[in-house]
A and B are shown apart, each in its own frame.
Chain A
Amino acid sequence: MTSAVSLHAVTKRFGEDIIAVDDVDLQIEDGEFFSLLGPSGCGKTTTLRMVAGLEFPTEGSVRIYDEEMGLRPPNKRPVNTVFQSYALFPHMDVAGNVGFGLKMQKFDESDIRRRVGEAIDLVRLTGLERRSPKELSGGQQQRVALARALVNSPKVLLLDEPLGALDLKLRQTMQFELKDIQHEVGITFIYVTHDQGEALTMSDRIGVMKEGRLAQIGSPEDVYESPENLFVAGFVGEMCLLPAVVADPGSVTLNGGEVIRARTSSPRGEPVILTIRPEKLHIYSTAAEAPPDRNALKGSIVRRTFYGESMVYEVQVGLSDTIDVRVENVPGMRRWDVGDQVIIDFHPQAAMALEE
């Protein structure tokens, strides 16, 4: 099977000493919703722009459905882009914007009208064809940008942080809508975002980027549950980090001397960082209350923060390390106060030791 998009040894340098993308290999499959996730400046947008043809790699090969793109200009590539700032043409109305690509490809007038109508219906903007982009809300502008790209039936749709400018509620609605639209049109989506929540909820696979390189590629669950390195562990979701040393296979020693069972593949004596998700921890007042055969750490509460759906306790363990514990807000939720001595309990599978 051929990949929708395949990057081979792609490097992009700006000037002499800025390496935006560093020797990236990546295969994105047909029909996949693939996200490139990373902090700003990690090279995710540059990678996307190289697929679009808005930027050319310094070295390496970009192939779209097995066709080498080389230095082919953007107008000759079977991809379309939804830009971060939408980039709607201010001197054209909604229909003019959506029909631009078809007009450039010299489709019939009647053909264009029909397909523009369909695309506008698809993104639920029916009736706004004659509006100018200025007269639309942020969410509506976003839909126009989406329709403008989709109307051309590209083989691959590229989305550069398309929801970044929207407010939280709208962003969540649009996430579901984007996913539905992708199902409906059945084309490959490459989605660039710095928002790990967005990447987790929408993607089939995620490529986490750091400093121009791919730190990990995997399904949202892989990336969340089994981060391959500390960067991914820290960037995707919330994570508590505790310095430790590998004791035996399957256990580590913390700074305070406590021995904890954890997932580890490092050799004995190796310094590691123990990673635990706040929602996988439990708090008990005494060791007797905690279930047996699990990890238990003594600590005292230093901060309590209410988030609505949960309460987060910052617990000091040992001399200087702290762990966040998230307690779901359900009827009968127990409360502790700052200064309380508590026992933190967690399953050995919930803790993972990663080398620095």
Chain B
Amino acid sequence: MTLLDERKTAEEEAVSPKLERRARRRESWRGFFHAAPAYVYLTFFFVLPLLIIFVFSFASRSNTGKPLLENWNLDSWTRLVDPLVRTIAVRSLTMAIANTVLCLIIAYPFAYWIATRAKQRTRTLLLIAVLIPFWSNFLVRTYAWRMLLDSDGYITQFGELTGLWGRMLFTQPAVFIGLVYGYLPFMVLPLYAALERMDWGLVEAGRDLYASGSKAFRKITLPLSKPGIIAGSILVFIPSLGAYVTPDILGGAKTNLLGNLIVTQFQAARNWPFGSALSGAILIVMLVATMIYFRTGGRTI
């Protein structure tokens, strides 16, 4: 009997519970193999570095700043309640929340407008327009803002001409403008996805049931686009809480945020344990905050 014949008989055999179970197990293994590259990658380049950071946060440092894997202690973690850290944390948190809220306010009408265009072509073009900035490097774009906000930039010149504002570079508003600019697309896309999925027949039903246009929006469109609002808020809030490039380039040395503080610990201050503790703490806070946000927003995301 050749191999081919053997397989043939196996296929022609009637299915028994044992055979069915075996087939299902094979299916499940196949699924695992498809996911294996991602597992391996994430283990080496995400889980391990995280563990290293966690371990280092309990380490000590030599006089020259070399991290020493001995004299394990909690010093770095206790330093987190330092007033300076608290000031910076509050500033970062305020900035991240304000950024999220402003992005939401700007992005919602825009996403709504795109999602309600009748022609698919128009919608695609508008979405591409949202994504175009990603074609150039984030660093380059941030430096471009530096030009705009500097003394001879258009924005500064316009502000001085009208007497409304002066040079904004290296101020908190400059950082804020940069953050909103940088994270706006991350709010537009999930909002668009949620609104595009919307059954507009429900809004019609609301209008038919005596809801005015604005009432129908508040009672129907807004609650039904909640998954998009939640997804967008998370996508904007989390990276802006740890933002580093924008505050560094547009805020100069004046606006210190958590991201800059951590970088300083690893570079200039040569205090790896404290930098690691800071990173770990932010990670934990974000995880908890995200979980709470998901819970309140329902499970439909």
A residues with a Cβ closer than 8 A to B are 52-54, 73-75, 79-81, 83, 85, 87-91, 100-101, 104-105, 148-149, 152
Task: Decide if B209 touches A152 in the complex (CB within 8 Å).
Answer: yes
Task: Decide if B224 touches A100 in the complex (CB within 8 Å).
Answer: no
The residues of A that contact B205 with a CB separation of less than 8 Å are: 81, 83, 87-89
B126 contacts partner chain A, Cβ-Cβ < 8 Å: no
Which residue on A lies nearest to B298, using beta carbons?
A91
Within 8 A of A (CB), among B196-213: 199, 201-202, 204-213
The residues of B that contact A80 with a CB separation of less than 8 Å are: 208-209
Task: Decide if B202 touches A104 in the complex (CB within 8 Å).
Answer: no
Task: Decide if B207 touches A73 in the complex (CB within 8 Å).
Answer: yes
The residues of B that contact A52 with a CB separation of less than 8 Å are: 208
The residues of B that contact A81 with a CB separation of less than 8 Å are: 205, 208
Task: Decide if B220 touches A152 in the complex (CB within 8 Å).
Answer: no
B163 contacts partner chain A, Cβ-Cβ < 8 Å: no
Q: Number of B interface residues at 8 Å Cβ cutoff, please give it.
A: 18
For this complex, 22 residue pairs linking A to B, each with C-beta atoms less than 8 Å apart, are: A52-B208, A53-B208, A54-B204, A54-B207, A73-B207, A73-B213, A74-B204, A75-B208, A80-B209, A81-B205, A81-B208, A87-B205, A89-B206, A90-B224, A91-B224, A101-B210, A104-B215, A148-B209, A149-B208, A149-B209, A152-B209, A152-B210
A90–B298 CA distance with the chains assembled, in angstroms:
13
- Beyond known contacts A80-B208, A89-B202, A152-B210: 7 more, CB 8 A cutoff: A52-B208, A75-B207, A75-B211, A83-B204, A89-B206, A101-B210, A104-B210
A101–B210 CA distance with the chains assembled, in angstroms:
6
A267–B236 CA distance with the chains assembled, in angstroms:
79
Q: Mark B165-208, 1 if CB is under 8 A from A, else 0.
A: 00000000000000000000000000000000001011011111
B223 contacts partner chain A, Cβ-Cβ < 8 Å: yes
Query: Taking the nearest CB of chain B, how far is it from the CB of A25, in angstroms?
Result: 25
Q: Mark B279-298, 1 if CB is under 8 A from A, else 0.
A: 00000000000000000000
Task: Decide if B210 touches A87 in the complex (CB within 8 Å).
Answer: no
Task: Decide if A87 touches B211 in the complex (CB within 8 Å).
Answer: no
The residues of A that contact B209 with a CB separation of less than 8 Å are: 75, 80, 100-101, 104, 148-149, 152
Contact of B208 among A54, A89, A91 (CB under 8 A): A54
Tell me what chain B mostly uses at the interface: helix, strand, loop, or mixed.
helix
Query: Taking the nearest CB of chain B, how far is it from the CB of A15, in angstroms?
Result: 10
A307–B224 CA distance with the chains assembled, in angstroms:
47
Query: Taking the nearest CB of chain B, how far is it from the CB of A81, in angstroms?
Result: 5
Query: Taking the nearest CB of chain A, how far is it from the CB of B140, in angstroms?
Result: 43
A149–B199 CA distance with the chains assembled, in angstroms:
19
A81–B202 CA distance with the chains assembled, in angstroms:
12
Contact of A87 among B204, B213, B219, B224 (CB under 8 A): B204
The residues of B that contact A53 with a CB separation of less than 8 Å are: 207-208
Which residue on B lies nearest to A145, using beta carbons?
B205
A105–B208 CA distance with the chains assembled, in angstroms:
12
Give the A-B contact count at a CB cut-off of 8 A: 59
Interface centre among B211, B223, B224 (most CB of A within 10 A): B211
The residues of A that contact B202 with a CB separation of less than 8 Å are: 87, 89-90
A74–B209 CA distance with the chains assembled, in angstroms:
8
A166–B212 CA distance with the chains assembled, in angstroms:
31
Within 8 A of A (CB), among B55-73: none
Query: Taking the nearest CB of chain B, how far is it from the CB of A46, in angstroms?
Result: 13
The residues of A that contact B201 with a CB separation of less than 8 Å are: 83, 85, 87
Which residue on B lies nearest to A91, using beta carbons?
B223
Task: Decide if A89 touches B210 in the complex (CB within 8 Å).
Answer: no
Query: Taking the nearest CB of chain A, how far is it from the CB of B209, in angstroms?
Result: 4
The residues of B that contact A75 with a CB separation of less than 8 Å are: 207-212
Which residue on A lies nearest to B207, using beta carbons?
A74
The residues of A that contact B211 with a CB separation of less than 8 Å are: 75, 100, 104
A42–B274 CA distance with the chains assembled, in angstroms:
74
The residues of B that contact A104 with a CB separation of less than 8 Å are: 206, 209-211, 215
The residues of B that contact A79 with a CB separation of less than 8 Å are: 208
Query: Taking the nearest CB of chain A, how far is it from the CB of B119, in angstroms?
Result: 12
Which residue on B lies nearest to A100, using beta carbons?
B209
Query: Taking the nearest CB of chain A, how far is it from the CB of B195, in angstroms?
Result: 15
A54–B204 CA distance with the chains assembled, in angstroms:
7
Interface centre among A52, A80, A91 (most CB of B within 10 A): A91
Query: Taking the nearest CB of chain A, how far is it from the CB of B141, in angstroms?
Result: 39
Using known A-B contacts A85-B201, A91-B223, determine if residue A100 contacts B206 with beta carbons closer than 8 Å: yes
Query: Taking the nearest CB of chain A, how far is it from the CB of B215, in angstroms?
Result: 6
CB-CB nearest 9 A-B residue pairs: A101-B209, A87-B205, A104-B210, A74-B207, A87-B201, A75-B210, A104-B211, A81-B208, A74-B208
Which residue on A lies nearest to B212, using beta carbons?
A75
Query: Taking the nearest CB of chain A, how far is it from the CB of B138, in angstroms?
Result: 37
Q: Mark B254-280, 1 if CB is under 8 A from A, else 0.
A: 000000000000000000000000000
Query: Taking the nearest CB of chain B, how far is it from the CB of A156, in angstroms?
Result: 12
Query: Taking the nearest CB of chain B, how far is it from the CB of A263, in angstroms?
Result: 44
The residues of A that contact B224 with a CB separation of less than 8 Å are: 90-91
Which residue on A lies nearest to B200, using beta carbons?
A87
A74–B205 CA distance with the chains assembled, in angstroms:
9
Task: Decide if A89 touches B220 in the complex (CB within 8 Å).
Answer: yes
Which residue on A lies nearest to B223, using beta carbons?
A91
